[in-house]
């Protein structure tokens, strides 16, 4: 299988604080990878480096054959290949659900009227929100807003999708509806990297789990690894998490 995302010895500091201390991992096409770990372990930062929301100090990141840290990187092209969904949804509050979804396809890919509308319909069907096409974000629940954010990302047909603690702001019921959408995407063959605190979900949906600790990949394995942790740090982390 072809490698879609590859991090090699990535270092990243914010001021004097070294957040990533030599992170390496690969994600192949169609693979679903969950990154778990404590707050401050660098997992969100690692994710944000992949579409260059954060710039790295050393090491290399390759996404769909592009070197992310290269000075001559075509940033907009990279971002068309990489979708990202955030913890705080970040929908555009002044636009309807449809307008949120078609903004980038229309302005970046030049998709026109009826075609854009169809694109929005398809994306909303995928997240089960066809009836909300004309609603404004403030009229939706948190879970619905997050599903619209996923649809907005999907409409750009990314080659890989990043999920940054997308259910952390939601109650258990709304968390469930968002996770179901993500599982469906995973089954549909989408390449996904998700930072999550939902251990049950990571175990169930992920092909591979990466445990990060103090800015490093500490342990990695299949979902089953969560049942038999090798390192005391992961054991400790899981004990506190459950």
Check binding of 92 to another protein (CB under 8 A): yes
Check binding of 156 to another protein (CB under 8 A): yes
Check binding of 199 to another protein (CB under 8 A): no
CA distance 89 to 17: 27
- Which of 40, 86, 88, 39 is CA-nearest to residue 194? 86
- Which of 23, 20, 46, 53 is CA-nearest to residue 194? 46
132 with 148: CB under 8 angstroms?
Answer: yes
Check binding of 3 to another protein (CB under 8 A): no
DSSP 182: H
Give kind and range of the element (H or E) at residue 83. Answer: strand 82-85
Residues 102-131 that bind another protein (CB under 8 A): 103-104, 107-108
Check binding of 41 to another protein (CB under 8 A): no
Check binding of 230 to another protein (CB under 8 A): no
Q: Give the contact letters, 5-34, x = binds to another protein (CB under 8 A), - = no.
A: ------------------------------
Check binding of 82 to another protein (CB under 8 A): yes
Check binding of 79 to another protein (CB under 8 A): yes
DSSP string, 134-173: T--GGGS-HHHHHHHHHHHHHTT--SEEEEESTTTTS-HH
Among 37, 42, 83, 143, which residue sits at the site for another protein (rule: CB under 8 A)? 83
Closest distance between another protein and the C-beta of residue 107, in Å?
5
Tally of CB atoms within 10 A around 62? 18
Residues in the site for another protein, rule: CB under 8 A? 51, 53, 76-77, 79-80, 82-84, 86, 88, 90-96, 103-104, 107-108, 136, 138-139, 149, 152-153, 156
């Amino acid at each position: 299988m072809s490698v879609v995302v590859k991090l090699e010895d990535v270092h990243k500091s914010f001021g004097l604080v070294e957040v990533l201390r030599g992170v390496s991992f690969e994600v192949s096409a169609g693979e679903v990878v969950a990154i778990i770990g404590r707050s401050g372990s660098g997992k969100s930062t690692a994710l944000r480096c992949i579409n260059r929301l954060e710039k790295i100090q050393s090491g290399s990141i390759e996404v769909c054959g592009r070197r992310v840290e290269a000075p001559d990187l075509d940033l907009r092209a990279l971002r068309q290949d990489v979708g990202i969904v955030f913890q705080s949804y970040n929908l555009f509050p002044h636009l309807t659900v449809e307008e949120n979804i078609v903004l980038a396809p229309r302005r970046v890919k030049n998709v026109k009227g009826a075609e854009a509308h169809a694109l929005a319909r398809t994306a909303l069907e995928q997240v089960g929100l066809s009836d909300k096409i004309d609603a404004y974000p403030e009229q939706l629940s948190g879970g619905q807003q997050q599903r619209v954010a996923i649809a907005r990302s999907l409409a750009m047909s990314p080659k890989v999708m990043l999920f940054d603690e997308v259910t952390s702001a939601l109650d258990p019921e709304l968390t469930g509806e968002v996770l179901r959408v993500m599982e469906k995407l995973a089954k549909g063959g989408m390449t996904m990297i998700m930072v999550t605190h939902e251990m049950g979900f990571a175990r169930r949906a992920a092909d591979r789990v990466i445990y990060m600790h103090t800015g490093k990949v500490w342990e990695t394995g299949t979902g089953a690894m969560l049942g038999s942790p090798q390192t005391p740090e992961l054991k400790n982390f899981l004990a506190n998490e459950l």
